[in-house]
Amino acid sequence: MLLIAVAATVTALAANPRLACESLFSEKYRSNPQATVSIINSTGNYFRGISVANDPSLVKEIEKKLEEDRKLATNTVEEYSAGNKYDIVLNIPLGGKIISVGYTRNGDGSAELFVSGPPEAFR
């Protein structure tokens, strides 16, 4: 019995970390009238995207999840533009692969976020 408990603990510790941003594609967000969620399943690519307009609290929630995932990133690229536009791409190692998380906040308060990478990284 102890051996099973130890094996389960080691397996849990070795499991891939989950991205906080992945929760943004649940039914809670898909049913939000201020959000548009895109889900693309293909053989070589896992893609999820969410666009938000006229919902500042949801934009803040997205940014909070993005900051959680930023802690996992090995590389970030940020761009600031006139008119308060902000872009960031995080490259996160997950399952031996690199996942990209991209975010844009526009000057009008709208925002878009995507998560993309090889499907096996999310298993």
The predicted-structure confidence for 14-28, as pLDDT tens digits, reads as follows 455 589 999 999 999
- Burial category of 111 from C-beta neighbours within 10 Å (exposed 0-12, middle 13-18, buried 19 and up): buried
Residue ranges per domain, the chain?
19-122
pTM here is: 0.83
Higher pLDDT, 31 or 122: 31
The total of other beta-carbon atoms located within 10 Å of residue 31's CB is 9
Report the CATH number of the 19-122 domain.
Answer: 3.60.90
Give whole-number Cα distances, 28 to 10, 24, 76, 80, 98, in Å. 33, 8, 28, 30, 27
Express each pLDDT in 32-64 by its tens digit: 999 999 999 889 999 999 999 999 999 999 999
In 3-state terms, what secondary structure has residue 64?
helix
Q: Are 58 and 32 in contact (CB under 8 A)?
A: yes
- Closest among 77, 113, 117, 75 to 94, alpha carbons compared: 117
Res 3: pLDDT: 41
Instruction: Using the predicted structure, report yes or no on whether residue 120 has a pLDDT greater than 50.
Output: yes
What confidence score (pLDDT) does residue 74 get?
A: 97
